[in-house]
Structure 1
Amino acid sequence: MMMPLTLTLLTAAVPAAKRGMAYGIWGAVNGLAVASGPLVGGTLTEHISWQWIFWLNVPLGLVLLPLARLRLAESHGTGAPLDIPGTLLASGGLFGIVYGLVRGPVDGWTGSLVLTGLFAGSALLAGFVLYSARAANPMLPMRLFRSRAFSGINAASLLMFLGMFGSIFLLSQYMQGVLGYSPTEAGLRMLPWTGMPMLVAPIAGILADRVGGRPVVAAGLFLQALGLAYMSVVATADASYAAQLPALIVSGIGMALFFAPASHLVMSSVRPQEQGIASGANNALREVGGALGIAVMASIFAAQGGYETGQTFVDGMRPALVTGAAVVAAAGVAALLIPTRRRVERQAAPAEPAPVLETASH
């Protein structure tokens, strides 16, 4: 609930001409969280216990609640009533699919609960699409997907998170289980990747203001794909950190170039009153992409390798990373299909008398 609305509140608070820079700062703050997460989590896991990664959020939430109440300006949507049938269909469908994807590598893809989750979730999501196409006030209007910008950036986000999350899932185990680093040491060595958004995201936001988000997002995705492909080549059972470092840096720059402009593209592809809906849909697709990525990469890993020795782990990880690189490259192609900035803004602007998104595909 929180992540989509941070973008909505930020968009409402910042003039249109400065939103790229604002999204860049937002991306840098997210980058700080991503970079510090493995370090803090690794330290807690190594020196206290892994359960403390959950307890840590309690004091943070208690401190931030009054600050949010006092300092955040209010923002409102369309005022439409809550779409209860749509909410139940979407929530149930996503739960079933994510459950099936997460449990598939563990319980087997033919397990009864896994198949039930996947089929029931797919059926509920299909029902959600059919219902939303006809409902008077759907929580996610299907007409938004007539916009090439909205469809393109959401497809790119889904594929990006699929390739990236699945790869990070295996690489974090590779550094600890194969190369012998402690959780804290592994977190430190991942910093060139996870910490790069702190440095590059503000620059990416400024570039998006000047040249548009499409080329910046596409460049970031292709760099991310290049970094994953390079890592699949240099990863061995005894690879030095120096050999891995270029892949981590390139992947980090690519990830940083993606986040801020992608958020800008999502928010600029719809009308202002629909930005909360657009941000929520994009975040949901990212989460599904991450779960799907872990499931797909784990399945490829299990089919080609295993945990028996360092070499068998590398044998399974390499084809998984190649798959991740190919998926992220496909995300780059999807980004290139997004219309130019001027056309996106023209499509998202209010029209008279009908909403312009009804004819966005033209």
Structure 2
Amino acid sequence: MAGNASTLTSDAVRTTPLHKGALLTIVLVSYFMILLDNSVIFTALPSLQADLQLTGTELAWVQNAYTLVFGGFLLLGARAGEILGRKPVFIFGLIVFSVASLLIALSPAGWWIITARAIQGIGAAIVAPSALSLITATFEGRERSRAVAWYSATAGIGASLGLVVGGAMASWFSWRAGFFINVPIGLAMLLLAPRFLPGTPALPGRFDLVGAITSTLGVGALVFAILNAAESGWTNPPTVIGFAVAVVVLIAFIVTEARATQPIMPLRLFASRTRTGAYLTRLLYLGAMIGFFFFTSQYLQEALGFTPIQAGVAFLPMTLVNFAVAMAIPQLTARFGNTLPLITGVALTLGGMFWLSRITTTSDYVTAVALPMLLIGAGQGLAFAPMTTFGIAGATASDAGAASGVVNTFHQIGSSLGLGILVAVAGAAAAGTTGGAAAITAEAVGALTGASIFLGISLLIVLILIAPGDLAAQRRTAADGDSATHSLAFRPSPGIR
């Protein structure tokens, strides 16, 4: 009887309907929180600095601590989801992120908020790869295309809407309100997640501890070196040491992964030129976009005289276009495939970015900023979903977590690397200026020009690595279909010999 009861319970679990809409809502809202906090800080930095009496270095580390830990722990978070099960890991990440958000909102001093931002980065590194792998494992075919489109729209909208929320909260209430928002949202998701998220089997085997340590230390050292270079210079001893440590440890990581029976990042993911191209494209594209948000926000406030909330609202036209285009992606990809929207999206973003890089201290917002933003928003809406799709294309169910972890890792490393390089470029471009509006404009022009170069290179990568492989796959699919049709058309009837 006990055995029969166990069987009945197991059957009941297996036949319980999966609420895919609820699952997608939980995943996207949780992912949105992460992206919101990655950008909400930009328009709130001046009031945060004044409230906590932070130095320039401390202020930089409010953002850098989050970025450093987020980038360093992404692969570990992805692998933990596979080994321990995506559902419990996702829930644990939500708990860490929500508690850290509360600690940030209650910060009494600089050391507190920097520490809390680092803890928040750990939560984000756990939630982000689990979110994408839950989508990959749950949805198939057209459903997966629509789910990935929503995921990608969330990635684009969360970044730009964070500027609006940060500016509004700082202007109307306090910079702390932007982080308090996450607490009730996180609690709601924690109440829903145990009920609606599907349980995924934990993979048997040993945890790749050496791979986890070397990947975390290597990526963390690389991100630290990039961020420190932007702050203290590329020849600064900690910067040089950081790069040296990153190179040595990442080489050790690659050697470890090549020999591991269950690697944290299977090197076979890079055997596909399509996936490799998607990872590199994402790295460069995100490097350009983080520079766009960082410097355009400063330009609007310090050169054109916008308040924090006005600067945030100034990004709304881009956000609305981004959302509208992203929602049309499933229909576009069903008709044209993923390659054409990706090429068009990167090209539109490049055109908008180069146009925006022509700003001056007396530029008109509508013609010099808003109209280029419309192109950037449309391009982002077209590009994100195909980039994500190509990044996980062909990955098996067992590699879903690893593939999503690599996608998010290149996303975060692209942001860190891009911002570090563009800050250095901006500093060189502003050398010799007298300060004020002229200096911030020169910095923005230099950074946005550099971002345009990033996008130009990413467009070449799409054309060289992704497009040929995708077209070849389409031709193979068409040939297989023609062969099957031919075989059926000429198959003799059972009575003919």
**Cα 1:168/1:273, change in 2 over 3 Å:** same
| Structure 2 unaligned blocks of 5 or more | 1-125, 478-497
1:232-259 Cα offsets, whole Å, 9 max, x none, are: 12x1112111112220000001111111
Identity of aligned residues (%): 27
The yes-or-no answer on 1:196 pairing with 2:318 is no
Give the C-alpha shift of residue 48 in structure 1. Answer: 3.1
Q: Is contact 1:77–1:276 with CA below 8 Å preserved after alignment?
A: no
Q: Is contact 2:137–2:400 with CA below 8 Å preserved after alignment?
A: no
Give the C-alpha shift of residue 6 in structure 1. Answer: 1.6
The yes-or-no answer on 1:171 pairing with 2:171 is no
Q: Give the paired residue count.
A: 346
Residue in structure 1 matching 2:449, options 322, 325, 329: 322
**Cα 1:108/1:34, change in 2 over 3 Å:** closer
Give the C-alpha shift of residue 31 in structure 1. Answer: 4.0
The yes-or-no answer on 1:125 pairing with 2:246 is no
Segment of structure 1 superposing worse, 44-53 or 179-188: 44-53
Residue in structure 1 matching 2:163, options 38, 42, 55: 38
The yes-or-no answer on 1:66 pairing with 2:191 is yes
- Whole-angstrom CA distance in 2 between matches of 1:299 and 1:201: 32
1:202-230 Cα offsets, whole Å, 9 max, x none, are: 21233223322122112111111111100
- Whole-angstrom CA distance in 2 between matches of 1:54 and 1:118: 33
1:250-278 Cα offsets, whole Å, 9 max, x none, are: 00011111111222222223223211110
Aligned to 1:266, the other structure's residue is in SS state: helix
- Whole-angstrom CA distance in 2 between matches of 1:283 and 1:8: 11
- Whole-angstrom CA distance in 1 between matches of 2:271 and 2:205: 21
Counterpart in 2 of 1:237?
Answer: 361
Computing the radius of gyration from Cα coordinates, the structure with the larger value is 2
Q: Is contact 1:218–1:335 with CA below 8 Å preserved after alignment?
A: yes
- Give the TM-score taking structure 2 as reference length: 0.66
Segment of structure 1 superposing worse, 18-27 or 327-336: 18-27
Counterpart in 1 of 2:435?
Answer: 308
Higher relative contact order structure (alpha carbons within 8 Å, sequence separation ≥ 6)? 1
The code of the aligned residue for 1:317 comes to: A
- Whole-angstrom CA distance in 1 between matches of 2:447 and 2:392: 32
Residue in structure 2 matching 1:343, options 473, 476, 488: 473
- Superposition pairs for residues 91-106 of structure 1, below 5 Å? 91-106=216-231
Q: Is contact 1:164–1:328 with CA below 8 Å preserved after alignment?
A: no
Give the C-alpha shift of residue 57 in structure 1. Answer: 2.1
Counterpart in 2 of 1:152?
Answer: 277
- Superposition pairs for residues 50-65 of structure 1, below 5 Å? 50-65=175-190
Q: Is contact 2:352–2:375 with CA below 8 Å preserved after alignment?
A: yes
Counterpart in 1 of 2:103?
Answer: none
Q: Is contact 1:212–1:341 with CA below 8 Å preserved after alignment?
A: no
Q: Is contact 2:300–2:311 with CA below 8 Å preserved after alignment?
A: yes
The code of the aligned residue for 1:272 comes to: A
Counterpart in 1 of 2:337?
Answer: 212
- Whole-angstrom CA distance in 1 between matches of 2:203 and 2:476: 21
Q: Is contact 2:329–2:385 with CA below 8 Å preserved after alignment?
A: yes
The code of the aligned residue for 1:205 comes to: P
- Whole-angstrom CA distance in 1 between matches of 2:401 and 2:221: 24
- Whole-angstrom CA distance in 1 between matches of 2:434 and 2:147: 44
Give the C-alpha shift of residue 188 in structure 1. Answer: 0.6
The code of the aligned residue for 1:297 comes to: L
Segment of structure 1 superposing worse, 292-301 or 38-47: 38-47
Counterpart in 2 of 1:354?
Answer: none
Aligned to 1:340, the other structure's residue is in SS state: helix
- Give the TM-score taking structure 1 as reference length: 0.89
1:4-57 Cα offsets, whole Å, 9 max, x none, are: 222221222223133222222223344443343111111222233324433332
Counterpart in 1 of 2:142?
Answer: 17
The code of the aligned residue for 1:167 comes to: F
Segment of structure 1 superposing worse, 124-133 or 196-205: 196-205
1:282-330 Cα offsets, whole Å, 9 max, x none, are: 1011101101111111101111106812122222321221111111121
- Whole-angstrom CA distance in 2 between matches of 1:190 and 1:202: 19
- Superposition pairs for residues 281-296 of structure 1, below 5 Å? 281-296=406-421
Segment of structure 1 superposing worse, 213-222 or 85-94: 213-222
Q: Is contact 1:34–1:194 with CA below 8 Å preserved after alignment?
A: no
Segment of structure 1 superposing worse, 198-207 or 73-82: 73-82
- Whole-angstrom CA distance in 1 between matches of 2:327 and 2:298: 30
Q: Is contact 1:144–1:270 with CA below 8 Å preserved after alignment?
A: yes
Q: Is contact 1:27–1:197 with CA below 8 Å preserved after alignment?
A: no
**Cα 1:124/1:304, change in 2 over 3 Å:** same
Q: Is contact 1:132–1:139 with CA below 8 Å preserved after alignment?
A: yes
Segment of structure 1 superposing worse, 163-172 or 286-295: 163-172
- Whole-angstrom CA distance in 1 between matches of 2:326 and 2:280: 21
Segment of structure 1 superposing worse, 220-229 or 29-38: 29-38
**Cα 1:314/1:20, change in 2 over 3 Å:** same
